[in-house]
Structure 1
Amino acid sequence: MKNQKRTTIYDIAKKLNINASSVSRALTNGMNVSEATRQLIVKTAKELNYKQNSLASNLRKGQNQTIGVVVPRINQNFFADVIAGIEEVTYQEGYNLIICQSNESYEREVKCVNTLINQHVSCIIISISADFEDGQHLKNAMDQGIRLIQFDRVADNLDTFKVLNDNEQASEEAVSHLIAQGYKRIALLEGPQNLNIFKQRKAGYLAALKKHGYPVLPELIKENAWTKELGAEATSALLNLPDRPDAIFASTSDFSALGVLEVATKMGLNVPNELGVCGYSNEAFTEITSPSITTIDQYSMSMGKTIANLYFQNMLSDQVNVVPKIVSIKPKLIIRSSTQRYSI
Structure 2
Amino acid sequence: MKKVKRTTIYDIAAKLGITASSVSRALNNSSQVNEKTRELIIKTADELNYKRNTLASNLRKGHSKTIGVVVPRINQNFFSNVIAGIEETTYQKGYNLIICQSGEVHDKEIQCVNTLINQHVDCIVISVSADSYDYQHLQNVIDHGIQLIQFDRVAEELETLKVINDNEQASFEAVSHMIDNGYKRIALLEGPQNLNIFRQRKNGYLRALAHHKVAVIDELIVENAWTKELGAEATRKLLNLPQPPDAIFASTSDFSALGVLEVANAMSIKVPSELGICGYSNEAFTQITSPSITTIDQFSVYMGNTIGNLFFQEVANSDVAVKPKIISIKPELIIRGSTAKKA
> By the TM > 0.5 criterion, same fold?
yes
How many angstroms apart in 2 are the aligned matches of 1:251 and 1:180? Answer: 18
Note the alpha carbon deviations across 1:186-226, whole angstroms, 9 max, x for none: 00000000000000000000000000000000000000000
How many angstroms apart in 1 are the aligned matches of 2:315 and 2:139? Answer: 17
Asked if the contact 1:160–1:324 (Cα under 8 Å) also holds between the matched residues in 2, the reply is yes
Q: Which residue of 2 aligns with 1:18?
A: none
How many angstroms apart in 2 are the aligned matches of 1:318 and 1:333? Answer: 37
- Report the secondary structure of 1:125's partner residue: strand
AA matched with 1:212: H
- Report the secondary structure of 1:303's partner residue: helix
Answering whether residue 239 of structure 2 is matched by residue 273 of structure 1, we say: no
Asked if the contact 2:70–2:127 (Cα under 8 Å) also holds between the matched residues in 1, the reply is yes
In structure 2, do the counterparts of structure 1 residues 147 and 59 end up closer, same or farther at CA, with 3 Å as the change threshold? closer
In structure 2, do the counterparts of structure 1 residues 59 and 162 end up closer, same or farther at CA, with 3 Å as the change threshold? closer
- Report the secondary structure of 1:149's partner residue: strand
Matches within 5 A, 1:116-127: 116-127=116-127
Asked if the contact 2:162–2:325 (Cα under 8 Å) also holds between the matched residues in 1, the reply is yes
Q: Which residue of 2 aligns with 1:323?
A: 323
Asked if the contact 1:248–1:277 (Cα under 8 Å) also holds between the matched residues in 2, the reply is yes
Asked if the contact 1:68–1:116 (Cα under 8 Å) also holds between the matched residues in 2, the reply is yes
- Report the secondary structure of 2:98's partner residue: strand
Q: Show structure 1 runs of 5+ residues with no match.
A: 1-57
How many angstroms apart in 2 are the aligned matches of 1:315 and 1:175? Answer: 41
Answering whether residue 230 of structure 2 is matched by residue 238 of structure 1, we say: no
Pairwise CA distance, 1:342: 6.1
Matches within 5 A, 1:113-192: 113-192=113-192
How many angstroms apart in 2 are the aligned matches of 1:162 and 1:205? Answer: 24
Q: How many residues align?
A: 286
In structure 2, do the counterparts of structure 1 residues 207 and 60 end up closer, same or farther at CA, with 3 Å as the change threshold? closer
How many angstroms apart in 2 are the aligned matches of 1:82 and 1:325? Answer: 19
Pairwise CA distance, 1:63: 2.6
Q: Which residue of 2 aligns with 1:290?
A: 290
Structure label with greater radius of gyration:
1
- Report the secondary structure of 1:159's partner residue: coil
How many angstroms apart in 2 are the aligned matches of 1:120 and 1:113? Answer: 11
| TM-score (norm. length: structure 2) | 0.81
How many angstroms apart in 2 are the aligned matches of 1:342 and 1:236? Answer: 21
Q: Show structure 2 runs of 5+ residues with no match.
A: 1-57
In structure 2, do the counterparts of structure 1 residues 271 and 312 end up closer, same or farther at CA, with 3 Å as the change threshold? same
How many angstroms apart in 2 are the aligned matches of 1:327 and 1:59? Answer: 24
Note the alpha carbon deviations across 1:53-83, whole angstroms, 9 max, x for none: xxxxx79947320000000000000000000
Pairwise CA distance, 1:341: 2.0
AA matched with 1:172: F
Asked if the contact 2:86–2:304 (Cα under 8 Å) also holds between the matched residues in 1, the reply is yes
Note the alpha carbon deviations across 1:260-281, whole angstroms, 9 max, x for none: 0000000001100000000000
Superposed CA RMSD: 1.5
Matches within 5 A, 1:243-262: 243-262=243-262
Note the alpha carbon deviations across 1:275-295, whole angstroms, 9 max, x for none: 000000000000000000000
Asked if the contact 2:273–2:342 (Cα under 8 Å) also holds between the matched residues in 1, the reply is no
Q: Which residue of 2 aligns with 1:74?
A: 74
Percent identity reads: 73
- Report the secondary structure of 1:120's partner residue: coil
Pairwise CA distance, 1:133: 1.4
Asked if the contact 1:147–1:315 (Cα under 8 Å) also holds between the matched residues in 2, the reply is no
RCO higher in 1 or 2 (8 Å CA, sep ≥ 6)? Answer: 2
Q: Which residue of 1 aligns with 2:31?
A: none
- Report the secondary structure of 2:214's partner residue: coil
Pairwise CA distance, 1:315: 3.2
Asked if the contact 2:183–2:342 (Cα under 8 Å) also holds between the matched residues in 1, the reply is no
How many angstroms apart in 2 are the aligned matches of 1:316 and 1:110? Answer: 29
How many angstroms apart in 1 are the aligned matches of 2:262 and 2:342? Answer: 23
Asked if the contact 1:254–1:283 (Cα under 8 Å) also holds between the matched residues in 2, the reply is yes
Note the alpha carbon deviations across 1:206-254, whole angstroms, 9 max, x for none: 0000000000000000000000000000000000000000000000000
Note the alpha carbon deviations across 1:301-336, whole angstroms, 9 max, x for none: 000000110000123554152420100000000000
How many angstroms apart in 2 are the aligned matches of 1:96 and 1:316? Answer: 20
How many angstroms apart in 1 are the aligned matches of 2:104 and 2:135? Answer: 15
Answering whether residue 215 of structure 2 is matched by residue 199 of structure 1, we say: no
Note the alpha carbon deviations across 1:22-62, whole angstroms, 9 max, x for none: xxxxxxxxxxxxxxxxxxxxxxxxxxxxxxxxxxxx79947
Asked if the contact 2:133–2:194 (Cα under 8 Å) also holds between the matched residues in 1, the reply is no
